């Protein structure tokens, strides 16, 4: 089912760490809205079309609760668009367009794993789309190990604990966990597949390690977007199999197609 536009009620919008907020909204699938899956995103807009910023903002699905019919987003407050999202209060509403993108093919990942463990690797706010991924893969019986890199203090990791057999943290500052890069503690040869989202430099490092170990790797990319629906081609990226749009062909790509 393709993306739809819906005015969603905000149930909660809290800051869980400096400049990191978690917003939960109502998404009534029983009223005919499409259910999202891991790795998909929405175009969010809480301001009128004649107000700035001109473009809506793409934000990944952090979590989706089919029973409660709620969607949760985890977002970093950067500039005007995310500042306006942060200002939303419970009871107010915003425009959502989605679910957009291909997302992670969890059935294929489970098939590839065939009972062997899978590594999920996130960097900073790149952990946002990985919670629903872990929830879906764990529900399908996949054994998961989570690796996360942060500059200083980690955030939002407690939510992952029910779904992951192990959680390893690396910080640039050394404040928590391993003092260094998450790619220094990741050993892809121990896993059937590696799934990653975060800064391009981190994902490139993960892809290189996986390539050397001959382990399949999927990466979730970010690009500045205008429509989010594959119409404007503004988020086109060049891959080894031709030009692809991050919003429609992606955001999840086989790493060997997007990284040298």
Ligand X SMILES: Cc1cc2nc3c(=O)[nH]c(=O)nc-3n(C[C@H](O)[C@H](O)[C@H](O)COP(=O)(O)OP(=O)(O)OC[C@H]3O[C@@H](n4cnc5c(N)ncnc54)[C@H](O)[C@@H]3O)c2cc1C
Shortest distance in whole angstroms from residue 223 CB to ligand X? 5
Site for ligand X in 210-239 (CB under 6 A): 222-225
Rounded distance between C-alpha atoms, residue 241 and residue 229, angstroms: 20
Q: Tell me, what DSSP letter sits at residue 176?
A: S
Shortest distance in whole angstroms from residue 192 CB to ligand X? 25
Of 51-59, 63-71, 131-139, 202-210, which part binds ligand X (CB under 6 A)?
Answer: 51-59
Q: Which residue of 27, 41, 150, 160 would you call a contact of ligand X, by CB under 6 A?
A: 41
Residue 71 in contact with residue 64, Cβ under 8 Å? yes
Q: Which residue of 33, 120, 125, 133 would you call a contact of ligand X, by CB under 6 A?
A: 125
Residue 6 in contact with residue 96, Cβ under 8 Å? yes
Shortest distance in whole angstroms from residue 222 CB to ligand X? 4
Q: Is 60 in the site for ligand X (CB under 6 A)?
A: yes
Rounded distance between C-alpha atoms, residue 217 and residue 186, angstroms: 13
Query: Per-residue string for binding with ligand X, 161-190, x by CB under 6 A?
Result: ------------------------------
Residue 112 in contact with residue 193, Cβ under 8 Å? yes
Q: Is 53 in the site for ligand X (CB under 6 A)?
A: yes
Shortest distance in whole angstroms from residue 115 CB to ligand X? 30
Three-class SS of residue 252?
Answer: strand
* Residue 203 CB partners (closer than 8 Å, separation 6+): 123, 196, 197, 219, 221, 255, 259
Tally of CA atoms within 13 A in the half-sphere of 250 that contains its CB: 31
In the bound state with ligand X, the residue whose beta carbon lies nearer, of 80 and 152, is: 80
Which residues make up the interface to ligand X (CB under 6 A)? 41, 53, 57-60, 74-76, 78-82, 125, 128-129, 222-225, 251
């Amino acid at each position: 089912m393709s993306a739809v536009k819906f005015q969603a009620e905000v149930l909660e919008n809290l800051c869980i760490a400096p400049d990191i907020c978690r917003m939960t909204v109502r998404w009534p699938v029983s009223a005919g809205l499409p259910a999202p899956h891991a790795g998909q995103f929405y175009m969010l807009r809480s301001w009128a079309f004649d107000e700035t910023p001109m473009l809506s903002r793409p934000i990944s699905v952090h979590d989706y609760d089919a029973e409660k019919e709620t969607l949760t987003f985890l977002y970093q407050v950067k500039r005007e668009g995310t500042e306006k999202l942060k200002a939303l209060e419970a009871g107010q509403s915003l425009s959502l367009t989605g679910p957009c993108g291909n997302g992670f093919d969890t059935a294929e990942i489970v098939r590839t794993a065939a009972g062997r463990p899978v590594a999920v690797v996130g960097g900073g706010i790149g952990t946002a789309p990985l919670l629903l991924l872990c929830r879906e893969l764990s529900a399908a019986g996949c054994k998961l190990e989570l690796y996360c890199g942060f500059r200083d203090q980690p955030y939002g990791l407690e939510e992952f604990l029910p779904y992951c057999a192990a959680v390893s943290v690396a910080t640039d500052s050394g404040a928590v966990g391993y003092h260094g890069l998450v790619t220094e503690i990741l050993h892809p040869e121990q896993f059937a597949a590696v799934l990653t989202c975060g800064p391009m430099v981190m994902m490139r490092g993960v892809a290189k390690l996986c390539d050397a170990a001959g382990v399949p790797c999927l990466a979730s990319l970010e690009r500045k977007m205008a429509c989010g629906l594959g119409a404007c081609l503004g988020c086109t990226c060049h891959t080894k199999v031709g030009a692809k749009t991050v919003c429609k062909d992606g955001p999840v790509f086989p790493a060997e197609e997007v990284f040298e």
